[in-house]
């Protein structure tokens, strides 16, 4: 089998709007009520995927979920025409675009049965995200239906909050041998909730059949959560033998680093000191919500948002980093401003899966031609702009539903998923 790393990006949905529903997400709450541009947002996401393909990376997609979520509204005794204002924005949420929260993924070399395991995130902490998992599960069960190579698990019971790969890191050899899997959970977050619970992390590790000696459970720092790092991927990212993290990312940093180095002697830690880049600047620029990738030529690159280049302290530090002899040698800047304004950077938009592409439903994999078709569909059907009050307009409901149906037809996927 030709096992490679594939980035599955969420296509930004036609109901993309700024309703400020995510407590603890500074960008989301700051931009509450602003006008959003779904068409531009989705096209920015497609261009990001094109950039990945041009770099020689493998690319897949997940569809936006049906919005408004009629099934969820029906379970609450209402529908898009009669929904109370308090539920309307939640029913229209396009947050499934952030595929990093879709699931937690353990590649085949790490699991007891030698299959790639995926556990769908329950996202129970935030109401607008808590109804995503059925749609996510439906797509994963189609994309990864080959049970010889994949095991797709339903979400952890909602007693324990799980927000997916945004709180999970895998370090080690790319695909050939077992790695070290790190689950990052929250304990406290000052005024904000800790969304990832340690019991959810432990349950996923058991379900995936991970080796306890190569699995670590680490607490995210209270300071990071309180500053707006609602997921670990806002303050840390890992790839192969490299951990790139802010000095204040983890609660018990020395013990965590020591435990990780014992299990992975070749580990390289690139740590950004708080004296150089504050938590506030790191979170505002989404420096760490970047894609840390290995290019085909073996060079490691960091894919960062434009906001990182526009934050002087961040960009100066990054330029010095790549000029040194460290493991990260290239900086690649992408424009995902519409996603950033709602609190999601380049890493939020994608879920990493290591697998043989031949074992995956090809309708979820893309090349330039398929991206051209997706772009044409977006150009033709996505609303140009949405302000939160527009969600009450029946014409918008109809337009959003027709847009998603058109995309399903474009990708030859059933509209019911």
Structure confidence at residue 412 (pLDDT): 97
- Angle at 237 (CA atoms; ends 24, 30), nearest 5 degrees: 25
Is the CB of residue 144 less than 8 Å from the CB of residue 150?
A: yes
363 is a domain residue? yes
**163: Cβ–Cβ under 8 A, 6 or more apart, which residues?**
101, 121, 123, 125, 195, 196, 231
| DSSP bridge pairs for 9 | 61, 350
62 is a domain residue? yes
pTM over 0.95: yes
CB count, 10 Å around CB of 159?
A: 10
Among 116, 348, 377, 408, the one annotated catalytic: 348
Distance CA 398, CA 332 (A): 38
231 catalytic residue (yes or no): yes
21 is a domain residue? yes
40 is a domain residue? yes
Domain count of the fold of the chain:
1
340 is a domain residue? yes
Residue pLDDT, tens place only, 244-302:
999 999 999 999 999 999 999 999 999 999 999 999 999 999 999 999 999 999 999 99
**198: Cβ–Cβ under 8 A, 6 or more apart, which residues?**
183, 185, 217, 219
417 is a domain residue? no
416 is a domain residue? no
DSSP 8-class letter at 13: P
Residue pLDDT, tens place only, 282-296:
999 999 999 999 999
Among 65, 117, 208, 231, the one annotated catalytic: 231
348 catalytic residue (yes or no): yes
Structure confidence at residue 1 (pLDDT): 61
Among 163, 181, 240, 401, the one annotated catalytic: 163
Q: What is the CATH number of the domain that holds 138?
A: 3.75.10.20
| Residue 69 structural domain | 4-410
306 is a domain residue? yes
């Amino acid at each position: 089998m030709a096992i490679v790393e594939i980035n599955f990006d969420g296509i930004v949905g036609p109901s993309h709007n700024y309703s400020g529903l995510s407590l603890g997400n500074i960008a989301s709450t700051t931009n509450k009520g602003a006008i959003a541009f779904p068409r531009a947002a989705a096209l920015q996401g497609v261009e990001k995927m094109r950039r990945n393909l041009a770099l020689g990376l493998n690319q897949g997609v997940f569809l936006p979920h049906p919005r408004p979520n009629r099934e969820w509204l029906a379970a609450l005794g209402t529908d898009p025409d009669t929904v109370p204002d308090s539920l309307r924005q939640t029913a229209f949420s396009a947050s499934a675009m952030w595929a990093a929260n879709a699931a937690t993924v353990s590649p085949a070399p790490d699991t007891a049965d030698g299959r790639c395991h995926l556990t769908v995130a329950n996202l129970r902490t935030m109401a607008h995200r808590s109804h995503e998992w059925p749609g996510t599960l439906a797509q994963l069960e189609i994309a990864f239906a080959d049970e010889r190579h994949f095991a797709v698990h339903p979400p952890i019971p909602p007693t324990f909050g799980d927000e997916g790969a945004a709180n999970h890191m895998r370090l080690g050899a790319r695909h050939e041998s077992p790695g070290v899997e790190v689950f990052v959970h929250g304990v406290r977050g000052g005024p904000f909730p800790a969304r990832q619970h340690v019991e959810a992390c432990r349950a996923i590790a058991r379900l995936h059949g991970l080796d306890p000696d190569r699995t670590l459970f680490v607490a995210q720092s209270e300071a990071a959560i309180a500053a707006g790092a609602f997921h670990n991927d806002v303050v840390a990212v890992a790839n192969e033998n490299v951990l790139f993290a802010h000095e204040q990312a983890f609660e018990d940093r020395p013990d965590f680093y020591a435990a990780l180095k014992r299990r992975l002697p070749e580990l390289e830690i690139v740590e950004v000191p708080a004296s150089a880049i504050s938590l506030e600047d790191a979170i505002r620029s989404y420096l760490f919500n970047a894609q840390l990738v290995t290019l085909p030529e073996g060079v490691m690159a960091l894919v960062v948002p434009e906001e990182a280049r526009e934050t002087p302290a961040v960009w100066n530090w990054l330029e010095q980093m790549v000029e040194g002899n460290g493991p990260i040698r290239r900086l690649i800047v992408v424009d995902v401003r519409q996603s950033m304004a709602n609190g999601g950077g380049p890493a939020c938009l994608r879920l990493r899966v290591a697998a043989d592409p031949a074992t995956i439903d090809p309708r979820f994999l893309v090349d330039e031609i398929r991206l051209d078709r997706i772009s044409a569909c977006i150009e033709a059907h996505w609303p140009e702009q949405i302000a939160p009050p527009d969600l009450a307009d029946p014409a918008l409901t109809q337009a959003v539903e027709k847009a998603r149906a058109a995309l399903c037809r474009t990708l030859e996927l059933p509209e019911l998923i």
